[in-house]
Structure 1
């Protein structure tokens, strides 16, 4: 089966590495004394580690903007655009963006920076750690078209972190109806939080009903499980394992990236 992944990535079962930006202006954790320059410097260091380690793509997100907003303030995407603009000369892999948890802002940022995809929660209503969380995929799909961002791929996270679907529906029916009504460019299946393992059986359930829509494992990939998970999924989005000691708050280290990508290459040799 040929999909848009074959046009974007040079290897099968691509590994998309998360580039987590430190807290931004307006965020509770923002370091106003160090300023945006410190955020750019750390992002550049981690980008080098990820690309040198051999990942297939990069996704830039405001991961440290905790606690997240479901409708972000303008300063968030504006700051991210400035940071990405400084990194663009060094981006040698395909890249996407994610403004947590704001689908419209993610699409705005992608169009402004030339990103090829976004990942967000585009469907469903949830009870979450961030309050009642609603979406409007029809509105977002029309907005993407209206601003001329129709080529930006939309990766739908259908198992959102720190949230539960309000309706009594199982994962199979959610995935099946999402594909039918919203035509996602990919589906992402997650664990409870960043770095938490994704249930392989959940991946199988989604893959079974996804048809031609690619399915990504979205959290918790590591060398010990990457072969098992890529035997089901069409690719992986990951970040925590790449960081020093595998801790979410630490910086990405090239040695850990190389370790994971070595396991991926071993798996690809079996395809």
Structure 2
């Protein structure tokens, strides 16, 4: 399936540009400040693009523990980082502010992002407490900001959480497309860097033939063949990092090896 925001590319690879902890977060480096955040993310972008990824998604994975409502200082800083990094981009980009869909849409619309990823639907018991995202608020904001062209990628089985919705994942995916206007569906593993359940991925792919389906976590050079035999694309953060560790910087050679494999699969 072709992603209209990525031209004619199929079996797409969206790579994560993990921004360092933002102001207000416990791990924020106040001495380095926003300038250090910009420096780090630009270095990762350069390595990702050198390896040949199709798109880049900015995320605040370092803002542990995560929140459901983005603080003003976090939104401002992430917007500033993305704007500073944009001149270095040669591929389309998206954003994801964990775990606030309205803030993600606001940042994406303001910075000119092509897409936004978030948990938009469902109810979850999570490490952060009871999780009730606001899909209606996010889609209404997208409309109000005149960005109907910005695609919304719905992650339907949240990391660090368990769905309280007892419907099968395939039905939840179909419902998200029907009732909440999802532009794409993402299937995740239980934690960042953990593989998706391939039975879940297959059932979702079959349930929503009209929209792209991506594997959102745990894709590696060892399993990408099997994953892309099912999914239309993948989102990758951890595997592209030095030693395959989530919090390390991106390693260009790892990216290039992976993308060489993907090129043969297309």
Q: TM-score, normalised to structure 2's length?
A: 0.97
Alignment of 1:73-92 (within 5 A): 73-92=71-90
Name the counterpart of 1:48. Answer: 46
**What is the aligned-residue RMSD (CA, Å)?**
1.1
Task: Name stretches of at least 5 consecutive residues in structure 2 with no aligned partner.
Answer: none
2:105 is aligned, of 104, 107, 111, to 107
Name the counterpart of 1:243. Answer: 241
Residue 164 of structure 1 aligns to a residue whose secondary structure is strand
- CA distance, structure 1, for counterparts of residue 27 and residue 126 of structure 2: 21
1:201 is aligned, of 199, 202, 210, to 199
Alignment of 1:116-265 (within 5 A): 116-265=114-263
Task: Name stretches of at least 5 consecutive residues in structure 1 with no aligned partner.
Answer: none
Name the counterpart of 2:37. Answer: 39
- Cα distance, 1:44–1:87 mapped onto 2, change above 3 Å: same
Name the counterpart of 1:59. Answer: 57
Segments of 4+ in structure 1 off by > 4 A?
Answer: none
CA deviation after TM superposition for structure 1 residue 211, in Å:
2.1
- Contact 2:102/2:134 (CA < 8 Å) preserved in 1? no
CA deviation after TM superposition for structure 1 residue 171, in Å:
0.9
Residue 142 of structure 1 aligns to a residue whose secondary structure is helix
Residue 216 of structure 1 aligns to a residue whose secondary structure is strand
Q: TM-score, normalised to structure 1's length?
A: 0.95
Task: Report whether the alignment pairs 1:72 with 2:70.
Answer: yes
- Contact 1:18/1:237 (CA < 8 Å) preserved in 2? yes
- Contact 2:6/2:54 (CA < 8 Å) preserved in 1? no
- Cα distance, 1:11–1:92 mapped onto 2, change above 3 Å: same
- Contact 1:137/1:182 (CA < 8 Å) preserved in 2? yes
- Contact 1:107/1:149 (CA < 8 Å) preserved in 2? no
- 1:141-178: CA deviation from partner (whole Å, max 9, x where unpaired): 22211221211110000011011111322212211211
2:93 is aligned, of 89, 92, 95, to 95
CA deviation after TM superposition for structure 1 residue 9, in Å:
3.8
Number of aligned pairs? Answer: 266
- 1:169-194: CA deviation from partner (whole Å, max 9, x where unpaired): 22122112112111200000000111
